[in-house]
Amino acid sequence: MPQILCKDVVLGYEGNAVVRHLNFEVNRGDYLCIVGENGSGKSTLIKALLHLKAPMSGTICMGDGLEADGIGYLPQQTVVQKDFPASVQEIVRSGCIGRYGWKPFYGKKEKELAAAHMERLGITHLSRRCYRELSGGQQQRVLLARALCATRYMLLLDEPVSGLDPAAVQEMYGLLAELNQKENITIIMVSHDVQAAVTYASHILHVSEEPRFFGTKEAYLESGVGRAYLSAAVPARTMRERVPAANAPEHHFDSKVRSGSCFTEAGGEQHV
């Protein structure tokens, strides 16, 4: 069973559908980029995947050990965070908030987990520093470490490189590719950066009213939607040179199907 299976999903606000007939699946180890114009329903889709918003119709099923609150989410930065007095350590630890039940304080396990993720992302030396004094790239690393504390299987990133300088952008993409390939963490990323999407992703989901696309990166590059969208963003030749041959990660399918749950228009969750 895939980690996420979207069947004929319709999303929208107050009765107005923004996205219709959305069908796609995400398997463990995939690197899915969600691209599309502004207002095409990308952020609504993210909310639906996180179970913060029920689809108007259709089902979103979670399986292969994944729960909606087990997705590590990296939201876009808010105004509040820009001058928030918090140390890096405090923020990374808050990633454990969903998993430690009713205890009032973080235990040894949560602290070690946070420390391990800070070490892996190379921000241990910053742990006592104030978040608002860090560079954009460092801030994203902090938020990535927090997201990793919340998940074992899947990261969901909303425009993770917007506002970063070019060097930090490359660093961020490098980190994500490494997490994806070495740790087999599924990555779903919403991005405006379609060049990077076709460079790093294994699958592309192009969201818009019509036409729509879901499939592997290679198929996207050949498809009409993909060509039109890419040529608008960058001349086709330079784009192809940027695509390394066959770097798509191998898929690891769990043969053992674990129980999953579905999110439907009724708003309730049913276990399957």
Partner 1 sequence: MFEIFRMYFSYPFVRYAFLAGILIALCSSLLGVSLVLKRFSFIGDGLSHVAFGAAAAATVLDVGNDTAVVLPVTVLAAILLLCTGQNTRLKGDAVIAMISVGALALGYLFLNLFSKSANLTGDVCSTLFGSTAILTLSRTDVWICVLLSVLVVCFFVIFYNRIFAVTFDETFAQAAGMKVERYHLLIAVVTASVIVLAMKLAGSLLISALIIFPALSAMRLFKSFLGVITASAVLSVLCAALGILLSILFSTPVGATIVCMDMAAFGLCSLAGMLFRR
Q: Provide the binding-site residues for partner 1, judged by CB under 8 A.
A: 50, 52, 68-69, 71, 73, 75, 78-81, 84-87, 90-91, 93-95, 97-99, 104-106, 128-130, 133, 146-147, 150
**218 versus 269: smaller Cβ distance to partner 1:** 269
116, amino acid identity = A
**80 versus 167: smaller Cβ distance to partner 1:** 80
- Report, in Å, the least distance between residue 215 CB and partner 1: 27
**139 versus 202: smaller Cβ distance to partner 1:** 139
129, amino acid identity = R
The pair of three-digit structure tokens given for residue 93, joined into one six-digit string: 């630890």
- Report, in Å, the least distance between residue 90 CB and partner 1: 5
**84 versus 253: smaller Cβ distance to partner 1:** 84
Yes or no: say if 270 and 264 are a contact pair by the CB < 8 Å rule: yes
**69 versus 165: smaller Cβ distance to partner 1:** 69
- Report, in Å, the least distance between residue 203 CB and partner 1: 22
Neighbours of 171 (CB within 10 A): 18
In the chain, beta strands by DSSP E: 4-13, 16-26, 31-35, 57-62, 71-74, 154-158, 186-190, 203-206, 213-216, 261-264, 269-271
- Report, in Å, the least distance between residue 10 CB and partner 1: 21
- Report, in Å, the least distance between residue 204 CB and partner 1: 23
How far is residue 84 from each of residues 72, 118, 133, 158, 251, measured CA to CA in Å?
A: 21, 20, 10, 20, 40
